[in-house]
Structure 1
Amino acid sequence: MLSAAIFLIACSATAAFDPKTFNTTLLNHEVLQRLTPILNSNRTLTDKDYALLNRTIQNLGVDKDLVAKWTDLVRRNGTVPKDAVTKVVDDVKSSTYDAYGDEIGNRDGSVRHVEESPDYASSVVLASDLLSLTSAVASVKETACREHGYKFLDGLIMNKRWALKMFDASAKSPQGLLFGSSYHLGNFDECVAIEDPGYNGVTIEGQYCLATIKWRQKHETNKTRTGRGETLRWAVCVPSACHAKSVASFVSSVLAHTVSNTTGVEVTERDCYTRRPLAITPLDVGYLSLILLFITILFFATLYETYTIYYGSKKESIISTLIISFSMINNMKKIISTKQHNSLGLECISGIKALAMIFIIAGHACMFIASGPVMDADAWDRLVRQPVNAFMLNNTLLVDTFLMLSAFLFSRLMLVELEKRRGKLNVIPILIFRYIRVTPAYLVVILFYMTWLPKMGEGPLWQDRLLLEQERCMSSWWTNILYINNYVNADKMCMFQSWYLSVDTQLFFIAPIFIYSLWRWRIFGPVLLSVAILISLVVPAFITYQDKLDPTLLFYAKEFTDIISNFYFNEAYVKTHMKMIIYFMGILTGYVLHRIQTENYQFSYVLKTFAWIISLVLGTVTTFSVTIFYQEWYQYSALEAAAYISLHKLAWGICNGWLIIACATGNGGIIGKLLTWKFLAPFSRLTFCAYLVNGIVELYYVGELRHPLHITFFTVMANAISHIVLTFFLALFLCLTFESPLHGIEKILLRMFARPVLSDNARKDISAESSRNTSQSKLDS
């Protein structure tokens, strides 16, 4: 093959010879083997061949004496026309060829084009690049990959557009490495679009690989938690015949010529991507069939409700109600309704849920943005040190708010039912139907992770993130639906946010013991709950002190590239015994409000003022104190960490407890008006579905990202707002298709088998007057 011969002649000359010492044993045997067919052909090279060879020799900077020495060696090792060799040497001495011109000169002075882009290689393929690439390709042990590598190098010299694209799509000399830029992503789309018939009918396709380069640390004990200095993600575009190990070997060889052997290179199969026909599994087909079945049911149920609105009677039956519960018209009305018929004064719960979820999504967006490809890794470290940005770091407190609201609602509404039924309340159906209500929509999202989500996009980090998530869901999905994934297979957790449901469910199942005790025994009940609160304070503090853990979940960017593998997240943050305090505070808040409303207690002005001051102080301190642990001057103290882990949750529980009580009793003031704003009601109904689908938005964002992001407060907030909008849009779809219809079925079944219903919203009985200070109104039944 002529192009291979031309390239290998030049490369063998530069790789095998030294201007001062000449040793024939250094000549690559494989080079001679590849040259043999050409040398034995006894053919005469054309003017075009001479020009290309001349150009290559000039670009590589080969010494003219080396060419002469090489000529003698070739004459001894193979057959080649003497006039051709002489002409090559003469061409080296000739000055008629301009290595950086646009066209190739001929003997007669005329010009003609060579390939599509004749001089692009001269500008981007430097001699040092070719030398390192040649050596790296030769060191690849995999035969198919090595042969395709040689074809790639041949294509570079002959200015083949596919080869130039493959080189162009790879990352070059790093920019901003000292600035903290650790992601050099090349051009993903240019690489994977490469497809060339190649030689002898062998098609060469582009494969994008993102290698992980680890710099060797001289002082392992002095590692810092900030920045991204230990690793570098480096994109290379290689032929699709190369497997991950070959790519790692190739990158290592290239680096050996530039930065010596002081680095380690890792490339897994997930790090490499090439376009392939979509592979469909039976599980994919089954899931798609399930979705289409639901959509069909929704369509006909919507048609049925449309018919009943215009032509049908208003007579209701169980069958009719069941069908309409699937109607999109009915469900959309329920979601977007701003009416809140709540006689217990719990309208503020909707506002708290909506605002908390909005800021939780923003926090998740910040975490994925900061831990993903960024230009300046230190920018995030500067942001987290500023107290004004503390709200970005308080996802943990906002999640605790949801746990507290769950406990509060269960406590408050169960106490109402115990009063109404004089303690004769069957809790078992409530627990069963709670599982039935939560699990189906949850399972639909899990199955989406396992089937179609990894097939719905592509990008530099797509396989690294999405395939990893799919593998975890395939192995641990059963722990999710049993709500034990925060203890079982926690290192393979499916859906990073799913731990919350497990914690909430586990505590939900033990909560009736404490709630019934509070109703049944006026002394023993509060004492039992107080002991539980005390234990829930001591346990996290003891574990934190003993294991020298962080005081809370600290969002250092390089520690959250994969949040599931974060030590603190996996070993402490997701555990139920580390979250009990805030849940018990919710139960206590429900009990206190029940007593206040039952006894029609009125707060004095002094008491209200004092409570608001204490609440605002505690809320401010718990919100902004977290920035202390990010400061460069902070020295870790196990005692401080142990005190903080428990006391800041207790303080947050007191702050939220008073906020709920104040709003429910009409003492919320401006804050109460904000939290009861009707505009927030629709968003509060979407919070559960938003919680389920938010991970899809975050993973899709980081998987599709083509270029590193420059982090500033504005760019982070702008992206966070877009993530909020996308999350609630997907939540609306999930709620309309699964969550709301199944909720409607649950209510029908509860009315049939477990009256009265325990629901999140206590509705006013038709015959009862609305009152914030009494519990005379009844729950929806």
Structure 2
Amino acid sequence: MLCAAILTFACTFAAAQTNVNIDSKVLQRLASLLDSNRTLDTRELGLLNRTAANFGFDNDIVRNLTKLVRDTDVSDNAGSYAYEEGRKDPEEPPVEKSPDYASSVVLASDLLSLTSAVARVKERACREQGYKFLDGLLLNKRFALQMFDASAKSPQGLLFGSSYHLGNFDECVEISDKLDKNLPIEGQYCLAAIKWRESEEAKKVRTGRGEILRWAVCVPNACQANAVQEFVTDVLSHTVGNSTSVELTERDCYLRRPVVVKPLDVAFLAICLFFGSILLMSTLYEIYSIKWGSEKSSIIHDLIVSFSVIHNIKKIISTKQNNTLGLECVTGIKSFAMIFIVAGHACMFIASGPVMNPDAWDKLLRQPVNSLMLSNHLLVDTFLFLSAFLFSRLLLIELDKRRGKLNVIPILVFRYIRVTPAYLIVILFYMTWLPKIGEGPLWEDRILLEQERCMDSWWANILYINNYVNTDKICMFQSWYLSVDTQLFFIAPIFIYSLWRWSRVGPIFLGLSIVVTLAVPSVITYMDRLDPTILFYAKEFTDFAGNYYFKEAYIKTHMKMVTYFMGILTGYILHRIQSENYSLSRTLKVFAWITSIVLGSVTIFSISVFYQDWYEYNVVEAAAYISLHKLAWGIANGWLIVACATGCGGWLATLLKWKFLVPISRLTFCAYLVNGIVELYYVGQLRHPMHVTIFTITANAISHMVLTFLLACILCITFESPIHGIEKILLRTLARPVLSDNAVRDQSQSSRNTSQSKLES
């Protein structure tokens, strides 16, 4: 009791010295403690702590007094009092209390530092709810203990590199205490970014997770992000001093709210329902045609059936390839490339997200056996190569048949029409319903950020210029490829026509272009001292758009042109071989296979060198590598396709022509579009850090691949395949024969080594 009197006197004295007006109720309460001659309970102890914090008492003094009171004066029934001085409204339901062990958890915390931090909160509503939270802790109320329990505690594995301490997200957002109608409280989950001071030498280290620690706090719903940031900063100042800084935005806080539907959301649903209705009616029409209709085909019939679900599923799962140019292996290359691209994206998002042991990822980077995963960017270049190769090969056929009189404008226009609808639907999904389909610790930080970027940059995507415009706000991190491919597709006819028109000047023109496209990346890398290629350090790819190399070099068309031009050259070489029935000698085949295997292997496995601890950056090496490894990869891919097309591919050609890969190849475009949804959803909803091993990464990568291709199948059936079917019908009607990815047999020709083949319409 003496301690309480001392503390009460001290509060009164401090108020007098600092000219603070004390509320009369507070003075009456303090006076009643002296007159009552009874022991203090935990509730009253909390009130005294709060008063001391408001008056700016020295923390050490209050802490010592508190300890003394706990040792001598605390009553046995502490924690049994309800809110507001233990009075209960008989009409209200009883207060829900926590398990018996919960109070020991609270006693282990530093209530004084929490009280001091709450007292310094400037927002009145947040401060009042904070006081109610502290009172709830002292009174063993369940909502308060849940809020405390859901927050991150003392870090585990901090020295092991663990930087994500996520608390318990679901426990926090489900908190709701509405017994007090004047001050209801709901749980709000905030994930603060705590930055430690690092030396300049430490900042140069690219492994690990750097100086940022993500720390979860569960706070009342009235608290804005700036108030939570000040609160966390104040709490840390009592524990670790002022050696840290805290960053927290509204996007880092999540409060469970009713779904808000905006006009754009309704528009997206209307589009989906419209297409869904067309699919339904087209499917019913096809069922009717199969059972009772005529088998005769017409343009109207084909247009209607192109939207049928049955027709599109048959088209996807069909393993037939009407191709007499020997290009069946292209489907296998596309399938394997996309499988490994999706797996690479999965690995990158897993590694850059919440993990318990980030050092494990850094060890995997240094192992040469994982070089294929680290060379994921080469597989993307493979798609550029194939796009150029097919365009070159098939356009040269048409130029031969039409003797150079070919209008490429319809081809370019229909290519845009074929690609854009499915692409636009995915962008609209990012802008509307993607943020509404889930929740999690990083949901607002990742998904809402992606939505904001798409709202700002969607127009750059559909104009296919987003790899140069608004690169710091790129919508869909993987969409840069479509811009690069489209830009190069529009200029490719110039080079392809020159190859056909001028048999001597054309190859020289293309060769000089390849030399220029080799020099440009090297010069840029040398002048800007860039990495030799994109290096997937986890802490640098938490946000792709924030990575300097990604947005300033990797996604630029002028850094990718050499691969595309190598595809055009390969298409020209194969065209000459097949049109002239040229037979490759055994010596040439052996030399080409050895060269291809060596170049391909060196290109894939050499990247491991740049991840080793002993490697020292050399700008000349980087400048040489950036271009030469793309050239080598183009040569390796070029010979593989030529070998398969001319019948000397061996068992590798047999594997690439495997019929099981044909349906997968038809889904590659849609898989590339929807893969970002799978990866963002995974990171956004992740509740706890994952332990990284080669097994867990492989298992997750496989699951991501399955989900990606399932979503791709849905997108393909509903949007891409119908539009592609309509395009083919219109092209067949308006411009015969037309360009396509496949060639069907001309009945007047039976040889594979000929250019006089009719292309599939």
CA distance in 1 between counterparts of 2:132 and 2:305 reads: 64
Give the TM-score, by structure 2 length. Answer: 0.92
SS at match of 2:246: strand
Give the 5 Å matches for 1:559-570: 559-570=540-551
In the alignment, is the contact (CA less than 8 A) between 2:229 and 2:246 conserved in 1? yes
Corresponding letter in the other structure for 1:704: Q
Cα deviation, residue 151, structure 1:
0.6
Moved more, 758-767 or 393-402: 758-767
CA distance in 1 between counterparts of 2:662 and 2:474 reads: 32
SS at match of 2:293: coil
**1:35 aligns to 2:26 (yes or no):** yes
Residues 1:262 and 1:758: Cα distance change in structure 2 (over 3 Å): same
**1:381 aligns to 2:362 (yes or no):** yes
Cα deviation, residue 318, structure 1:
1.2
Residues 1:44 and 1:776: Cα distance change in structure 2 (over 3 Å): farther
Moved more, 194-203 or 671-680: 194-203
Give the TM-score, by structure 1 length. Answer: 0.89
Residues 1:249 and 1:101: Cα distance change in structure 2 (over 3 Å): closer
In the alignment, is the contact (CA less than 8 A) between 2:41 and 2:74 conserved in 1? no
Residues 1:756 and 1:471: Cα distance change in structure 2 (over 3 Å): same
**1:202 aligns to 2:183 (yes or no):** yes
Residues 1:120 and 1:750: Cα distance change in structure 2 (over 3 Å): same
CA distance in 2 between counterparts of 1:722 and 1:504 reads: 28
Cα deviation, residue 117, structure 1:
2.5
Partner of 2:85: none
CA distance in 1 between counterparts of 2:70 and 2:162 reads: 45
Report Cα offsets for 1:321-372 as digits up to 9, x if no partner: 1000000000000000011110100000000000000000000001100000
**1:327 aligns to 2:308 (yes or no):** yes
Cα deviation, residue 395, structure 1:
1.4
In the alignment, is the contact (CA less than 8 A) between 1:611 and 1:658 conserved in 2? yes
CA distance in 2 between counterparts of 1:91 and 1:187 reads: 31
In the alignment, is the contact (CA less than 8 A) between 2:166 and 2:215 conserved in 1? yes
Partner of 2:754: 774
In the alignment, is the contact (CA less than 8 A) between 1:100 and 1:119 conserved in 2? no
Partner of 2:91: none
Cα deviation, residue 702, structure 1:
0.3
Return the match for 1:97 from 56, 73, 76.
76
Partner of 1:429: 410
Moved more, 33-42 or 639-648: 33-42
Return the match for 1:602 from 566, 574, 583.
583
Partner of 1:443: 424
In the alignment, is the contact (CA less than 8 A) between 2:187 and 2:255 conserved in 1? yes
Corresponding letter in the other structure for 1:270: R
CA distance in 2 between counterparts of 1:684 and 1:762 reads: 16
Corresponding letter in the other structure for 2:537: Y
Partner of 1:390: 371
Corresponding letter in the other structure for 1:387: P
Cα deviation, residue 55, structure 1:
8.7
Give the 5 Å matches for 1:635-650: 635-650=616-631
CA distance in 2 between counterparts of 1:722 and 1:562 reads: 22
**1:246 aligns to 2:227 (yes or no):** yes
Cα deviation, residue 496, structure 1:
0.2
Cα deviation, residue 223, structure 1:
2.7
Give the 5 Å matches for 1:751-766: 751-766=732-747
In the alignment, is the contact (CA less than 8 A) between 2:46 and 2:135 conserved in 1? no
Return the match for 2:112 from 131, 134, 140.
131
SS at match of 1:146: helix
In the alignment, is the contact (CA less than 8 A) between 1:462 and 1:703 conserved in 2? yes
Cα deviation, residue 128, structure 1:
4.8
Partner of 1:357: 338
**1:271 aligns to 2:252 (yes or no):** yes
CA distance in 2 between counterparts of 1:430 and 1:14 reads: 87
In the alignment, is the contact (CA less than 8 A) between 1:59 and 1:99 conserved in 2? no
Return the match for 1:523 from 498, 504, 527.
504
Report Cα offsets for 1:519-566 as digits up to 9, x if no partner: 111100000000100000000000000000000000000000001110
In the alignment, is the contact (CA less than 8 A) between 1:16 and 1:27 conserved in 2? no
Partner of 1:147: 128
In the alignment, is the contact (CA less than 8 A) between 1:156 and 1:163 conserved in 2? yes
**1:722 aligns to 2:713 (yes or no):** no
Return the match for 1:732 from 698, 713, 716.
713
Report Cα offsets for 1:633-666 as digits up to 9, x if no partner: 1100110000000000000000000000001111
CA distance in 1 between counterparts of 2:696 and 2:412 reads: 44
Residues 1:656 and 1:93: Cα distance change in structure 2 (over 3 Å): closer
Cα deviation, residue 609, structure 1:
1.1
CA distance in 1 between counterparts of 2:738 and 2:25 reads: 82
**1:541 aligns to 2:522 (yes or no):** yes
SS at match of 1:497: helix
In the alignment, is the contact (CA less than 8 A) between 2:191 and 2:216 conserved in 1? yes
Return the match for 1:707 from 688, 692, 699.
688
In the alignment, is the contact (CA less than 8 A) between 1:226 and 1:556 conserved in 2? yes
RMSD: 3.0
CA distance in 2 between counterparts of 1:731 and 1:229 reads: 36
Partner of 2:86: none
Corresponding letter in the other structure for 2:462: I
CA distance in 2 between counterparts of 1:91 and 1:181 reads: 36
Residues 1:36 and 1:330: Cα distance change in structure 2 (over 3 Å): farther
In the alignment, is the contact (CA less than 8 A) between 1:297 and 1:326 conserved in 2? yes
SS at match of 2:397: helix
Cα deviation, residue 514, structure 1:
0.4
Cα deviation, residue 217, structure 1:
1.7
Cα deviation, residue 776, structure 1:
3.2
CA distance in 2 between counterparts of 1:11 and 1:352 reads: 83
Residues 1:162 and 1:668: Cα distance change in structure 2 (over 3 Å): same
SS at match of 1:690: helix
Residues 1:438 and 1:288: Cα distance change in structure 2 (over 3 Å): same
In the alignment, is the contact (CA less than 8 A) between 1:12 and 1:28 conserved in 2? no
Structure 1 unaligned regions, length at least 5: 1-5, 74-88, 103-112
In the alignment, is the contact (CA less than 8 A) between 1:115 and 1:158 conserved in 2? no
CA distance in 2 between counterparts of 1:293 and 1:136 reads: 54
Partner of 2:490: 509
CA distance in 1 between counterparts of 2:394 and 2:413 reads: 17
Cα deviation, residue 38, structure 1:
3.9
SS at match of 2:603: helix
Aligned length: 736
Corresponding letter in the other structure for 1:714: F
Cα deviation, residue 225, structure 1:
0.8
Give the 5 Å matches for 1:394-405: 394-405=375-386
**1:622 aligns to 2:603 (yes or no):** yes
Residues 1:724 and 1:221: Cα distance change in structure 2 (over 3 Å): closer
CA distance in 2 between counterparts of 1:353 and 1:118 reads: 58
Cα deviation, residue 126, structure 1:
3.1
Q: Percent identity?
A: 69
CA distance in 2 between counterparts of 1:409 and 1:524 reads: 22
CA distance in 2 between counterparts of 1:207 and 1:736 reads: 40
In the alignment, is the contact (CA less than 8 A) between 1:11 and 1:134 conserved in 2? no
CA distance in 1 between counterparts of 2:409 and 2:186 reads: 60
CA distance in 1 between counterparts of 2:114 and 2:208 reads: 31
Cα deviation, residue 487, structure 1:
0.4
SS at match of 1:437: helix
Give the 5 Å matches for 1:684-695: 684-695=665-676
Residues 1:563 and 1:91: Cα distance change in structure 2 (over 3 Å): closer
SS at match of 1:124: helix
Give the 5 Å matches for 1:563-602: 563-602=544-583
In the alignment, is the contact (CA less than 8 A) between 1:15 and 1:27 conserved in 2? no
Report Cα offsets for 1:617-642 as digits up to 9, x if no partner: 11110001101111111100110000
CA distance in 2 between counterparts of 1:54 and 1:434 reads: 75
Cα deviation, residue 94, structure 1:
6.4
Structure 2 unaligned regions, length at least 5: 53-57, 82-93
SS at match of 2:213: strand
Residues 1:12 and 1:239: Cα distance change in structure 2 (over 3 Å): farther
SS at match of 1:571: helix
Give the 5 Å matches for 1:151-162: 151-162=132-143
